Chains A and B, each alone.
Chain A
Amino acid sequence: MGSSLNHALGSLRTTRVWRSIFRHGAANTDRGRSLAIFGNLMLHWLPVKVREKSLRVRATYYLGSLSLMLFVILVVTGVLLMFYYHPSTPTAYSDMKDLRFVVSNGVLLRNMHRVAAHLMVLLVFCHMVHVFYRGGYKPPHEFNWVVGVVLLLLTLFLSYTGYLLPWDQLAFWAITVGTNIISAVPIFGNELRFVALGGHAVGENTLLRFYVLHVVILPLLAILFIAVHMWRVQKDGGLTVGSKDDDRQN
Chain B
Amino acid sequence: MSDNKVNPGKTIVDAKGEVSRREFLDGITLGALGVAGLGAAAITYQFFSPNVLFELPTTFRAGSPDLYPVNSVTFLQGQQVYIVRTEAGFYAVSAVCTHLGCITQWKPEANMIVCPCHGSKFQPDGKKIDGPAPRSQPHYAINLTADGELQVDKQQIIKADQILKA
Contact = CB atoms under 8 A, between A and B. Distances in A.
Interface of A: 1-3, 6, 80, 83, 98, 102-106, 108-109
Interface string B7-46: 0011110000000000100110000000000000001101
Contacts of B78: none
Given A3-B10, A80-B44, A104 B49 contact: yes
Interface of B: 9-12, 23, 26-27, 43-44, 46-52
B27 A103 contact: no
Given A98-B52, A103-B51, A1 B23 contact: yes
A1 B12 contact: yes
Given A80-B44, A105-B43, A2 B51 contact: no
A102 B44 CA distance: 15
Given A2-B10, A83-B48, A104-B51, 7 more contacts: A3-B10, A83-B47, A98-B52, A104-B47, A105-B44, A106-B47, A108-B43
Given A98-B52, A102-B52, A2 B23 contact: yes
A91 B136 CA distance: 41
Nearest to A80: B47
Contacts of A2: 9-10, 12, 23, 26-27
Contacts of B48: 83
A109 B47 CA distance: 9
Contacts of B10: 2-3, 6
A110 B51 CA distance: 17
A1 B20 CA distance: 11
B13 to A, nearest CB: 9
A94 B35 CA distance: 34
Contacts of B26: 1-2
A89 B51 CA distance: 23
A interface secondary structure, majority: helix
B14 to A, nearest CB: 13
Given A3-B10, A3-B12, A98-B52, A104 B46 contact: yes
B51 A105 contact: no
B46 A105 contact: yes
Interface centre among B23, B49, B50, B52 (most CB of A within 10 A): B50
Contacts of B52: 98, 102
A105 B43 CA distance: 7
27 contacts: A1-B12, A1-B23, A1-B26, A1-B27, A2-B9, A2-B10, A2-B26, A2-B27, A3-B11, A3-B12, A80-B44, A80-B47, A83-B47, A83-B48, A98-B52, A102-B51, A102-B52, A103-B47, A103-B51, A104-B47, A104-B49, A104-B51, A105-B43, A105-B44, A105-B46, A105-B47, A106-B47
Contacts of B50: 103
A228 to B, nearest CB: 29
Interface centre among B23, B26, B47 (most CB of A within 10 A): B47
A98 B12 CA distance: 51
Contacts of B47: 80, 83, 103-106, 109
Contacts of B44: 80, 105
Contacts of B12: 1-3
B56 to A, nearest CB: 19
A104 B47 CA distance: 5
Contacts of A105: 43-44, 46-47
Contacts of B43: 105, 108
A75 to B, nearest CB: 14
Nearest to B46: A104
A175 to B, nearest CB: 28
B28 to A, nearest CB: 11
